[in-house]
């Protein structure tokens, strides 16, 4: 049945997909607020923090804002703190800088990153920004390292602004004594909480449109059920909405009801 549900509703592609292209991202008020803060921090060569629960739209916001920075003027180094270790982070930053063999030691990697950053900013007159997604996974010592890595006193303005995105414990980690030099450079913060019910309605319709269906397939009670069941968080809403479409198709109904959402919810973690 899952392979048929798209056909039942005339959906041209998988709805509520995780990897939507930039031009299909819904520009909510919150997304605009996040982008404004990121632009502000970058213009000051400072730090911005974007926190939010899993699935609240942090990575999507980063992906969206990157599109604002024209590659002729900006180099945005975009990395994800997968293991939390400094070496892994440095390797990713070096890869973003196009450097392959910088050596395996922390000292060599630090030197090489600094050299590249200076070359790009002073030599090539590029503007740089470092964006670290999943920064709440970074080990505590990394915050102290990052401060020294990204500071280049020249006219007393650091060259490398940083955007850190992650779950709320990122704030706790930045409150530790050794993180404070880095934390003192924070000029903007934004917390993404769940969206409200009206925005959820708009969000569901938006994703249906992307998948090729113009009319609203969810009745009001279904929207309420998805909003409540997801806590307004995008990723959970995606799973509930898609699961509810499958349940409605199975029941051969053309409109998705709260009951279909409830059936979908029993499948989710």
Ligand X SMILES: Nc1ncnc2c1ncn2[C@@H]1O[C@H](COP(=O)(O)OP(=O)(O)O)[C@@H](O)[C@H]1O
CB of 46 to Mg ion, least distance (A): 22
Q: Which residues bind ligand X (CB under 6 A)?
A: 18, 20, 25-26, 28, 31, 52, 54-60, 234-235, 238
Q: Name the residue nearer to ligand X (CB basis): 18 or 251.
A: 18
What's the min distance (Å) between Cβ of 173 and ligand X? 17
Partner from ligand X, Mg ion, none binding residue 149, C-beta < 5-8 Å depending on class:
none
Here's the x/- map for Mg ion, 29-68, by CB under 5 A: it reads as ------------------------------x---------
Q: What is the DSSP string of the chain?
A: -HHHHHHHHT-SS-SS-SS--GGGS---HHHHHHHHHHHHHHHHT-EEEEEE-TTSSHHHHHHHHHTTS-TTTEEEEEEE-SS--HHHHHHHHHHHTT-----SSHHHHHHHHHHHHHIIIIIS--EEEEEEETGGGS-HHHHHHHHHHT---STT--S--EEEEE-THHHHHHHSGGGHHHHTTEEEEEEE----HHHHHHHHHHHHHHTT--S--B-HHHHHHHHHHHTT-HHHHHHHHHHHHHHHHHTT-SSB-HHHHHHHHTT--
167 makes contact, choosing from Mg ion, ligand X, none, with CB < 5 to 8 Å by partner type, with none
The CB-of-58 to ligand X minimum distance in angstroms stands at 3
**Minimum separation from the CB atom of position 52 to ligand X (A):** 5
User: Is the Cβ of residue 59 or residue 78 nearer to Mg ion in the bound state?
Assistant: 59
Q: Does 151 bind Mg ion (CB under 5 A)?
A: no
With CB under 5 A, what is the number of residues at the site for Mg ion? 1
Please say which residue, 97 or 225, places its beta carbon nearer to ligand X.
Answer: 225
Q: Which is nearer to ligand X, 28 or 257 (CB)?
A: 28
Which residues in this chain contact Mg ion in the complex, by CB under 5 A? 59
């Amino acid at each position: 049945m899952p392979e048929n549900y798209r056909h039942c509703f005339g959906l041209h592609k998988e709805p509520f997909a995780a990897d939507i292209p930039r031009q299909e991202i819904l520009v909510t008020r919150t997304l605009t607020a996040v982008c404004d803060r990121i632009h502000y921090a970058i213009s000051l060569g400072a730090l911005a923090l974007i926190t939010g629960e899993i699935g609240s739209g942090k990575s999507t916001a980063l992906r969206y804002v990157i599109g604002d920075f024209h590659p002729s003027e900006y180099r945005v180094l975009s990395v994800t703190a997968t293991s939390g270790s400094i070496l892994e982070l440095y390797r990713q930053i070096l890869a973003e800088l196009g450097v392959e063999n910088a050596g395996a030691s922390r000292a060599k990697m630090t030197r090489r990153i600094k050299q590249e950053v200076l070359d790009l900013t002073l030599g090539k007159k590029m503007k740089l920004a470092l964006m670290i997604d999943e920064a709440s996974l970074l080990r505590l010592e990394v915050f102290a390292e990052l401060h020294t890595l990204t500071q280049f006193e020249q006219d007393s303005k650091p060259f490398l602004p940083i955007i850190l995105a992650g779950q709320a414990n990122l704030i706790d980690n930045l409150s530790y004594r050794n993180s404070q030099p880095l934390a003192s450079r924070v000029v903007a913060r934004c917390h993404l909480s769940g969206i409200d019910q009206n925005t959820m309605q708009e969000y569901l319709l938006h994703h249906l449109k992307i998948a090729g269906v113009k009319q609203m397939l969810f009745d009001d009670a279904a929207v309420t059920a998805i909003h409540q069941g997801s806590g307004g968080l995008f990723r959970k809403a995606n799973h509930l909405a898609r699961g509810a479409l499958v349940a409605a198709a199975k029941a051969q109904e053309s409109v998705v009801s709260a009951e279909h959402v409830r059936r979908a919810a029993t499948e989710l973690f």
